[in-house]
Chain A
Amino acid sequence: RKEVEQDPGPFNVPEGATVAFNCTYSNSASQSFFWYRQDCRKEPKLLMSVYSSGNEDGRFTAQLNRASQYISLLIRDSKLSDSATYLCVVTRSFYNQGGKLIFGQGTELSVKP
């Protein structure tokens, strides 16, 4: 079983739709949580960090449930420019491992006109 697992894609949605991505992680020692965005054939870029209290950045809302080891990303009012692969990422901060990111395989989103 992979340490970080995401919904299989692709998600094909019309402009304006609301879409939700789910992610689960298996290591309860995971300490930090993120969503990265990766455009086709380009480098991943941080979309947002995820906090236990939930956090919002414009049309994007991230939630973390530590008890269930579950992370979500909600995108409201989808735009064509949201088309990308969304990567769920966790870190484990053992001694001398600081900042090592564990990536999910990614979920592809395609927003259509």
Chain B
Amino acid sequence: DADVTQTPRNRITKTGKRIMLECSQTKGHDRMYWYRQDPGLGLQLIYYSFDVKDINKGEISDGYSVSRQAQAKFSLSLESAIPNQTALYFCATRSGRGPNEQFFGPGTRLTVL
């Protein structure tokens, strides 16, 4: 089984709808991250969390919110989706100790019409 899972893997929705993307991990890591990837722009950090009581904004948090329900779960919400939020979204985890390597989930492809 994958260490970092994301649901759904693909989603098509309409402008104005509320969407939640979920991420779960079995690696026991305390740090979790949400990124979006757009063609030609690389990955941009949306939000990150060091533990269930710690949530921090990344570079592009406007229009997004997150919830860290447990150490293993970190969800990303779009309260009112808009077309320029169409992107590939990745969740990632990292241990608070040791190397800086982040482990990514398989991604969620979101299309907002």
Contacts and interface: CB of A to CB of B under 8 A. Distances in A.
Interface of A: 4, 32, 34, 41-46, 49, 87, 91, 96, 98-101, 103-106
Nearest to A106: B42
B104 A100 contact: no
B100 A91 contact: yes
B45 A43 contact: no
A74 B100 CA distance: 22
Given A44-B43, A46-B102, A101-B45, 20 more contacts: A32-B100, A34-B101, A41-B109, A42-B107, A43-B104, A43-B106, A44-B104, A87-B42, A87-B43, A91-B100, A99-B31, A99-B96, A99-B100, A100-B45, A100-B48, A101-B43, A101-B100, A104-B42, A105-B41, A105-B42
Interface of chain B, main secondary structure? strand
B93 to A, nearest CB: 10
Interface of B: 31, 33, 40-45, 48, 50, 56, 58, 88, 90, 94, 96, 99-102, 104-107, 109
A103 B60 CA distance: 14
B11 to A, nearest CB: 15
Contacts, number: 53
A41 B40 CA distance: 13
A34 B99 CA distance: 11
A73 to B, nearest CB: 16
B107 A103 contact: no
Chain B CB within 10 Å — which of A87, A91, A106 has the most? A106
